[in-house]
Amino acid sequence: MSKSALITGVSGQDAFYLSELLLGKGYTVHGLVRHVARAQAMLDPRIVVHVGDLLDQQSLVRAIEESEPNEVYNLAAMSFVPASWAEPTVTGEITGLGVVRMLEAIRQVNPKIRFYQASSSEMFGNVVEEPQNEQTPFYPRSPYGVAKCYGHFITVNYRESYGIFACCGILYNHESPLRGLQFVTRKITDAAARIKAGRETVVRLGNLDVRRDWGFAGDYVRAMWMMLQQDEPDDYVVATGDSHTVEEFLTRAFRRAGLVAAEHLVLDPSLRRPAEVVALRGDASKARRRLGWEPTVDFAGLVDMMVDADLAAQGVANG
């Protein structure tokens, strides 16, 4: 008998790669959406759509009753960190309290459902050690990071209190050609393609010294699935262990497009965050050891993949 899975945030980057992975494994995939018409136009037609909202407890209960999932992947969140300062309350409601609403719905309907919570490296914030692992203390530096900490700890709490098979994946920045244009990586690769096509002349960025551990989203969703296939639930850092600055990403992307980044860069102080997380680098040795997980795309391959996709979207040949 095939398994079924319910994915929240099903129209996002991670859900695209996760749903493709699950469908390839013979799962029946269900997606939670707020608006059916828009979602059906965007999603793989094999995904069964259910209307629900992390702000509405009863809609989550109904979606679980209708989909009867073996696994629930909670990927929905207010995921753009800078926007969390503009909308801190909504960020807390969705990214934080939305998790406990889903967990409570699982507990009420079927506590045997396996649950994945999308935790974040932003929970580490002002890091106390490098690289960070599952034992590193959290010190979030944004409303988003704070909300993710709540979601993380309430997941652990439900696991320990009710015996729910609940796992948290502490994922570091993971990108792809599907990344939203508001995120700095895709902003850079899209700008490079547009400048190459003659449609733009500059790219505006804030802090070039920020350092991140960037990986490929397709690799990271594989780790999500692996967590829910284990004999016991646990939490895992998912990262490459390699970090680069925004400036390095910019330089590599523009070079891939046949451009010199310095000739098109405008530094805009207004794009800096109120409280910046300067550097993040993860230690995924536990995931490698216990799950057998390994990333397949390195930093250079990731940047090149994203630039090539954006160049193709602009109708421009590579280089």
> Could you tell me what percentage of the chain is helix, strand and coil, using 3-state DSSP and rounding each to the nearest 5?
45, 15, 40
Closest by Cα among 21, 16, 61, 1 to 227: 21
Q: Which two tokens stand for residue 232?
A: 């016991």
Written as one string, the DSSP assignment of 28-93 is EEEEEES-HHHHHHHS-TTSEEEE--TT-HHHHHHHHHHH--SEEEE--S---TTHHHHSHHHHII
Could you tell me the sign of the dihedral formed by the alpha carbons of 133, 135, 141, 143, in that order?
positive
Residue 266: strand pairing partners:
204
Could you tell me the sign of the dihedral formed by the alpha carbons of 65, 66, 70, 75, in that order?
negative
Confirm if 62 and 101 have CB atoms less than 8 A apart: no
| Bridge pairing between strands 174-175 and 28-33 | unpaired
d(C-alpha 284, C-alpha 62), whole Å: 36
Q: Where in the sequence numbering do the catalytic residues fall?
A: 120, 122, 144
